Every structure is written in structure tokens, then in C-alpha cells.
Chains A and B, each alone.
Chain A
Amino acid sequence: MTNRTGRRTAIIGGVRTPFVKAGTSFRNLTALDLGKLVVSELVQRCELKPREIDQIVFGTVIPSVQMPNIAREVGLATGLPKEIEAYTVVRACATSLQALTTAADAISAGEIDCAIVGGSEAMSDVPITYSRPVAQAIVTASRGKTVVDKIRAFSDVSPRDLLPVPPAIAEYSTGLSMGESAEKMAKENGISREAQDAFAHRSHTKAAKAWDEGTFSKEVMRVLLPPGFEEAVVEDNVVRKDSTLEGYAKLKPVFDRKYGSITAGNSSPLTDGAAALLVMSEDKARALGMRPLGYLREYAYAAVDPNWQLLQAPAFSVPKVLRRAGMKLADLDLVEIHEAFAAQVLSNLQAFASKQFADEHLGGAEPIGEVPDGKLNPNGGSISLGHPFAATGARLVHQALRELAARNGNSALISICAAGGLGGACILTRE
């Protein structure tokens, strides 16, 4: 597949909640609550008649046991027409990018004309499960016919099994946590602690400046917290407005206390939040008199062996998307890279620029290229704005389109690394 031939997808508008550290302002809200808030506000801000919507593609990375198809629940709970079909997608940190590209495919194929895409994450509301022995006993007991059967099912359960199991933070395939994998990458790619801290400082400084200048006023909604509606959450609370380089140096490494360099300061935090986009076929947008923010030109996904460098897949998805679009990195006016860890962003950038990497992994092609500092994440990124897993993709797309307009550029590249050794990239254009 090279150039897409079907209908182009227009991105009409977007909105996100403020992103807040897990356990703070949104601690009493679920992923559904956040999704509902953001979708409802999106429909209002786009001045859209809800009956124009064909489909909702939504996701959450830490899934809810009560509502496996959160996309459908979001549609129903928002009071949108019940006839809007909906399904849930998951691609770890690239979940809402997946939601966007899946809907774009459906638009391209003529299956739908209009969709809401996005994701929400409530890290404050993760499901706590029981151990396998207890879970099996409960299932057996529920099938038991008599009271004795039901009790007997628990006979093999030891008291230790009764402790709840916290949600996994380790990759299922490697047994390593995300931080440990980032630590491995920092060492193998020679990314210094100083370089990481400087990048984190850069991220916070740019985000603080953007908030001060009102850059996010059109992107971020105000949330009046239910049930009392007394407290208004209006800004991200992750960003450090008084970031100093020295501050980062004081923090201790988290994942390798002796030789490590990954700290809480140069990583993205656990975050609650939601983001959504409204997309349409170009014809539909024209018929409704909507002015799109821009268009999805191309996208590509790639994967690497998680045991190698878990977060290095962007070094494969980015050349793939550029090739499909027939573009070079230098053609782009803006590059937005998801910041899971400073070490990961710097590893990605290193690979983009490396002739050796191109020789070893890209069949001897030209290196992908260097990203000039002025084009990279000019308003901060996931380290400073926060990273609600399923919301980050939609946040990046919306933020990039607004920034393109602000700098009067035409095209932007978005790159996201994701758990499982996955990478996703897309190219957006304003024209």
C-alpha cells in the first residue's frame, strides 16, 4: 500500500480535559465519566447535530471489567442518539491514534461519513483483581448446585491467595516494567542523565509558556466536577511552572538505583484525562459548512521485538509513513513526538539521524534525518502535560493542527511509541 486512494479524512475539531496527576482532581471519576465529558463538549464546540455522527471509536488502555466496550458506553451515557454504532480499540499509548486511523479507513472506504474518535484514562480507577486460585474458586462456586459445592470450591485457596493483585505495570512478554525498558534503552544508546534532565526541563518550560500564553484555551475544556459542580478543573496540573535544570539533578533514579538515569522528573507521570476528535469525509464537512482544522494525509504502524528496545519502534514507523506520503522529514513544518521518557525521545531522535541505524535496520537507505529543535514539541509534551495513555494520541493530533495554524505551516508528523514494542506515526496537513 503506497498512496491512499479513497476519500480523505478531515479533522474538524477536538477537545481534551485538563490532564491531571492520578489521584488528584479526577480521583473520583471513571474512564467513562471522563469520556462522557469530553465527547459531550466536543459535540457542542463543533456545533454539530448529533444525528450527523455515524460512529464512535474510543478506547481506554487500562480496561474496565464492567464496560469492556467503553466506546458504546460513552455514546449511550452522553445522551447521543442510541443509533450511533461504536466500538473500542486498544493500542497502548497509541490508542486514540488507532481510533483516528481506523475511523479514517472507514471514511476512506465509504463506510461512514462522520465519527468521534478518542480515548480516556482514569488511572485513579484501575481494576484490582484477585489471584488465579481465588478467581477459579469463585467461578467454580458459581457453578456449584448446593451450598456444600459452593464452599468446597474454596478449599484449595490459601490465605495468601486472598490478597488482591495490583494491575500489572510490567510488559507481559518481557516481565520488565516500562521504566526498566527505558533504562535499558538509555544505557544501550548512551543517553546521559544530563541530556534526559535537559529534555525534561525543555518540555516543562515550553508547556508552562504555552499555558501562560493561552495556547491551550481552544484545546482544553473546563471541567466542573460532579457531583457537586463546585470545583472547576481548568488546567493541567502536571506542568511545572517554575522548572529549573538543577531541580531535576536532585531526583534519584527509580528503576536502577545504582547505575540508572530514569527519574520521576524525566518521565511522563501516571495521568487521568480524556481527549477526542471529530472527523468527517471532506464532502460531509463541506456539506455541513464545517471548517476543518486539517486532514489526515498518511499513517503507519510498526513493531520491534520488545526484548530489544521496547520504545524504539518509531524509528521504523516514521520512515514508513514518510515513504508512503512521498515526503522527507525536512518537508515537515512540525514534529510532535510522544514523550514517554526523555530517554526514549532522545533514543528515537538519535536513530532518526543515524547513518549506522539506517544501514543496519533500514536496508542502507538514507538516514531519516535530524529534527531541528524549533520544530520539535514546541508546546511541551507528555512529560510536562501528562500522559493519560488512551488520550495522548488525540491530544497530539489536535495540538499539532492548532500549532500548524499558529506558525502558518502546512504539514506535521506525529510519532508515538507504545507498549509491546509498537510504534505509530501519522502525517497531518492543513490544506
Chain B
Amino acid sequence: MDRLEELSRKKPVVAAIHGPALGGGLELALACASRIASDDRRTQLGQPEVQLGVIPGAGGTQRLPRLIGIAQALDLILTGKSVRAGKARKLGLVDEVVPKAILLDVARKRAAALAGGRPAPKRSPLVPEKLQEVALEDNPIGRRFLFHEARKSIRKKTRGHYPAPEKALEAVRIGIEEGPEAGYRAEAERFGELVVGDVARHLVEIFFATQELKKDTGVDDPSVKPARVEKIGMLGAGLMGAGIAYVSVEAGIPVRLKDRDDASLGRGLRQIAGILDERVKRKRLTFRDGEEKLALVSGTTDYSGFKSCDVVIEAVFEDLGVKQTTLKEVEREAPAVIFASNTSSIPIGRIAEAAQRPEKVVGMHFFSPVDKMPLLEVIRAKSTDAQTVATVVAIGKRIGKTVIVVNDGPGFYTSRILGPYLNEASYLILEGAAVDEIDSALVDFGFPVGPLQLLDEVGIDVGSKVAHIMQGAFGDRMRPPEGFERIAASGRLGRKAKKGFYKYEGVQKGEKTVDETVYELLPGGVRRGSIPREEIVERCVLQMVNEAAYSGAKFHDRSRSAR
């Protein structure tokens, strides 16, 4: 890179960028005398190294802040996010954005112009980014403030689990304060440390596993191809139904959305339009794209438009009888479709008992809120045929989900491993631990939310119901603590009832305050004893790990016997 930079001073090298220029690709471009990008949507620039537990290792921490300013560079390097060409132009990361067809021509001309002594066009000093740069970065006090704030925000996000962002920050700071030579050295040292560390190793493993999963068709037989899906029928326009409809139209798949009356249907359409509006406001979508996506969903209160669907997903009331009635209606109205149930707890095999064509019945377990949660659990019942599985897996990927395929059974996979974990958290409360103590211990461990907040989100009644189903299926290791039903029985159902472990009324948005009146329902009362954090973490997490091992063993056996 140094040699390239050196060469560029004598004989200008211009980077013409089309497609992703991430990590090393961007660092190579940074060493050039000028950068021209194509205006293509695929063109993206960024330093995603921290996402793999390392830092840019080829000068990114040094050249990027010098080119676009410290604050903007940190925003890219510390988060690993990437930007499109237009934004890159605003940041000064590229000098010009042109259509792909003339990219190479413009780059050649720029190189010739630079060789002739004419400099690259400068960005306007009046853009807000530039003004901030002048205010904060051109003096030592401003810079100290900047680095301090950046460190604080890293610590808040990583909770000390991920060393890379902080190391990257150090490398940037050293480069700015002690000069490029010290900076490059600092970058190399830190890169070396991180790359052989555990965190990077695991993150890289996850990365490759995810890549591998993206290629997985969900079925063993390579000759099985997913069916073409041109329209999805969505039954139920509630929170889940509308969420699934949204992710489908976002991915360009038309949806026919059905609910029992205009009011329910209207609420669902409003939810979809609301998410799209929000994305238009945040400039993730253009107004026209938003309108076009919204036009892909159409509502109905009867089954018209369902016969021509390829897949029908139901998100109706969570009750075996209701689901089976729905399945029969769909088979009558739309004989050829795949029927996917978005149940979180009812075995697919039980639903399929009512089917004329059980081979077309499958589970698609989405998580709420559907537009944000990346996981999709596809459940294969014994009767489900391979093409059905392959088809819904392909849909899952099209709508950008991480898809896992699991066998049918109580709780499938996610609820099954979550069950003992949530049970353990409940035992801890009955033993006298505080709600926030448990949640903060597990958030510190690395979960995005704690188990009790999760119960509030899912619904404490739902949690209780599932727990008993699991106990019935797996025996005593899934036994929920006695006396815990009292919480749900008192009408304290979680967020949906605005009453749970936490307060939902009279608190500011985003603030979490434990509703201490919940302790009155439990032995020990409001006075909470202290259980060591390590004990909380180990008891909860190990329950989950054990159950994962159980389920893995069982799946393994099954897949072997299937061959």
C-alpha cells in the first residue's frame, strides 16, 4: 500500500470502484491518488473488519481519517458499516460518482489530469460534515473530546466483549497524534494481536457458518429444487401477519392479505405502510420505491386471490382447532398451495392431521417484530415433502432471514432451548433475585435482552403455556417453578397488557423500570436477596446449552436413521 501511495505521488493511480469495496478493497483504493465510484446500487464502501473481530490492517485506520476526517472515519471503522456511492461522495471518500458505463473513461481522464498537474475537485467546505470537522478535529481539545466520546460509546455497545473497536480507535488516535509512522506501526501491532485472538476466531467461524448456511437449501437431496414463488397468501393481518407481509413485499414478492373484516385488514395495511413510510423518511427507500412496494400487498376479507398463490402462510389465533379449520379452508379454496403455519408452539404434525395433502404442510416460525428479527425457523413435519421445505427455505432467504430447518416437535428448536433458560430465570426470582439483576447479568454476558424482559415481550401467559407443553413433552427437566402462574393469572401478561416485570405506563420511552409490585405475588416480597452474577449467568446459560446438546443428539439420530 505504501508503495502504491508512493507511486501515486509520481504517477497518479486512480481507483475506479464498481461493486463492493470493503475492507482491503477500500484500503487499496485509499492508497490511490483519487477514487471514482459508479452510481450502481451494488457499489458499497466500508471497513467491516471489526465485525470479524479485527481492525483494518492495511492502512485503513490511518488513511481514512486523514481523507474524510476523524469523526466520519470512526463512524465507519468502529461500526463496520458500509456506505453507498452518493454518501461516499458527500463524505469525500470518493471524488466523483458517475454511471458505470463511463466509469473507466472518467478514471483514465482523471489520471491523465492528475499527471498533468491538475488536482482532483475538492468537496464544498459548506457540507455539515466538513463544518464539524473544522470545529472539533483541528484542535487538540476537540480531538480529545471526540476520542473520549467514541470510547464511551464503544464500551456501552460491546460491554467489554469485543476488543476490536477499541483497538481500532487507539490506532487512529496514535496516527493522528504521533504521526503516520507510529500510526501504521500501531495498526499492524494491534491487527496482529487481534487476528490470533479468540474473539476474532469465533467471529470468523460464525461468518463462515453463516455463509455456509446461505448456501444450504434445507434439504439433503440436491435434485430437489424449490418451486417458483410469485405470490404469497397471508392469513391474518395482525402484528405477525402484517410483519410477514411487509418483509415479503420489501423483497418484491406480492402478497394477498386476508383478515376477517375491514377494520382488522386496515390495521394490518396501516402497519405495513407505516414501516415503509419510516424507511422512506430515513432515506432507506425512495418515495417511489415505497409506493411500489406498498402496491404489492392487496387486502381481502374473502379467499379471492388465494388460488393463484404459491404459498399460504397462516398467522391466525394460536389454537390447534382454529389452525386446522383454516388449513381445511385453504385446501378447499386453493388446492395447489403450500400451507405454512407460523405457530410458535403447536406441532406441525398435529396441524397436518387435518390435511388432504399433509406433504404440503410445513412450519414457518417467525419472530416478532418480523421486520427486525433475523431468524426464521422452518419446521419439517414427518409428512412434509422435500420440495415444500426447499420452497419455504428459499422464501426465507429471499426475504433476508437466517433460516434454520428443524424437525417437528414440542417447542421446535428455539422455544425448546429457550424453555429451560427462561425457567431457570424464573427459579432465580423465586429464590429471591431481583428482576433487573437477572436481566443485566445476562445482557452483560452478551444477550441483547434479558430473560425477564423477553418474557414481557413474548407474553408471560404465552411463556407459561409453552412451559407446560414442554414439561409434558420432555418431562421434569422442563418443569416450570410452582407458583409462577400466579403472575399471568393476575392479568400481568407483559408488554401487551402494559403490565409485566417492567413498567409500561408512566415511564419515558426507552426507559426500563422494574415494576416492583410484581414481587408482591412472589415469595420473599419486595426485599430481594443477592445472588452472585456469575451464578445467575451460569445457571441460565448452561440450561440452554444442555438442551441444545439434547436436541442436537436427537436430530442427529433421526437424520441418520432417515438415511
Contacts and interface: CB of A to CB of B under 8 A. Distances in A.
Interface of A: 36, 40-41, 44-45, 47-51, 76-79, 222, 224, 226-230, 232
B113 interface: no
Given A228-B270, A229-B270, A232-B266, A49 B308 contact: yes
A229 B301 contact: no
Contacts of B301: 222
Q: Across chains A and B, which 10 residue pairs bring their CB atoms closest together, nearest first?
A: A44-B305, A229-B266, A47-B308, A232-B262, A229-B269, A79-B296, A47-B307, A79-B295, A229-B270, A45-B304
A396 to B, nearest CB: 23
Contact of A40 (B265, B269, B295, B307): B295
Contacts of B205: none
Contacts of B266: 224, 228-230, 232
B462 to A, nearest CB: 28
A229 B292 contact: no
B265 A224 contact: yes
B230 interface: yes
B24 interface: no
Given A44-B256, A45-B305, A78 B265 contact: no
Interface string B260-296: 0011011101100100000000000000000111011
Given A45-B305, A224-B269, A228-B266, 12 more contacts: A44-B298, A51-B230, A79-B293, A222-B262, A224-B262, A227-B273, A229-B266, A229-B267, A229-B269, A229-B270, A229-B273, A230-B270
Contacts of A51: 230
B239 to A, nearest CB: 15
Contact of B292 (A45, A50, A79, A226): A79
Contact of A49 (B230, B270, B291, B292): B230
A254 B270 CA distance: 43
Contacts, number: 56
B300 interface: yes
A227 B276 CA distance: 12
Contacts of A40: 295, 298
B541 to A, nearest CB: 44
Contacts of A228: 266, 270
Contact of B295 (A49, A78, A227): A78
B44 to A, nearest CB: 25
Nearest to A225: B266
A226 B299 CA distance: 12
Given A41-B298, A77-B295, A224-B299, A229 B307 contact: no
Nearest to A222: B262
Contacts of B262: 222, 224, 232
B128 to A, nearest CB: 29
Contacts of A227: 273
Interface centre among B296, B299, B301, B307 (most CB of A within 10 A): B299
A78 B304 CA distance: 18
Contacts of A229: 265-267, 269-270, 273, 299
Contacts of A48: 308
Contacts of A50: 230, 254
Nearest to A15: B304
Interface of B: 230, 254, 256, 262-263, 265-267, 269-270, 273, 291-293, 295-296, 298-301, 304-305, 307-308
B300 A44 contact: yes
Which of A41, A51, A79 has most chain B Cβ within 10 Å? A79
A407 to B, nearest CB: 25
A228 B263 CA distance: 11
A77 B307 contact: no
Contacts of B267: 229
A288 B173 CA distance: 68
A224 B294 CA distance: 13
Contacts of B254: 50, 79
A224 to B, nearest CB: 5
Most chain A CB atoms below 10 A, which of B293, B296, B307, B308: B308
**Of listed A44, A51, A228, residue having the most chain B CB within 10 A:** A44
A79 B465 CA distance: 42
Contact of B273 (A36, A44, A226): A226
A299 to B, nearest CB: 30
Contacts of B300: 44
Contacts of A76: 292
A42 to B, nearest CB: 10
Nearest to A76: B292
13 contacts: A36-B295, A40-B295, A44-B256, A45-B305, A49-B230, A50-B230, A76-B292, A77-B291, A79-B292, A229-B265, A229-B266, A229-B299, A230-B270
A40 to B, nearest CB: 5
Contacts of A230: 263, 266, 270
A70 B101 CA distance: 31
Contacts of B256: 44
A77 B287 CA distance: 12
B256 to A, nearest CB: 6
Interface centre among B263, B292, B298 (most CB of A within 10 A): B298
A292 B214 CA distance: 44
A75 B56 CA distance: 47
A47 B307 CA distance: 6
Nearest to A45: B304
A398 to B, nearest CB: 15
A218 B295 CA distance: 22
Nearest to B262: A232
A335 B300 CA distance: 33
Nearest to B293: A79
Nearest to B310: A49
Contacts of B305: 44-45, 47
Nearest to B334: A47
Contacts of B291: 77
Contacts of A47: 304-305, 307-308
A47 B256 CA distance: 11
B297 to A, nearest CB: 9
A270 B365 CA distance: 50
B292 A77 contact: yes
A222 B263 CA distance: 12
Nearest to B277: A227
Nearest to B308: A47
Contacts of A232: 262, 266
B246 to A, nearest CB: 14
A228 to B, nearest CB: 6
Nearest to A40: B298
B135 to A, nearest CB: 35
Contacts of A79: 254, 292-293, 295-296
A73 to B, nearest CB: 11
A51 B231 CA distance: 12
A35 to B, nearest CB: 11
A101 B516 CA distance: 74
Contacts of B293: 79
A416 B318 CA distance: 54
Nearest to A234: B262
Nearest to B237: A229
A227 B305 CA distance: 23
Nearest to B270: A229
A52 to B, nearest CB: 10
Contacts of A78: 295
A209 B301 CA distance: 24
A36 B295 CA distance: 8
A309 B405 CA distance: 73
A260 to B, nearest CB: 43
Contacts of B296: 79
A222 B300 CA distance: 8
Given A224-B269, A227-B273, A229-B270, A44 B304 contact: yes
A227 B301 CA distance: 19
A169 to B, nearest CB: 32
Nearest to B249: A79
A8 to B, nearest CB: 24
A49 B307 CA distance: 10
A50 B308 CA distance: 10
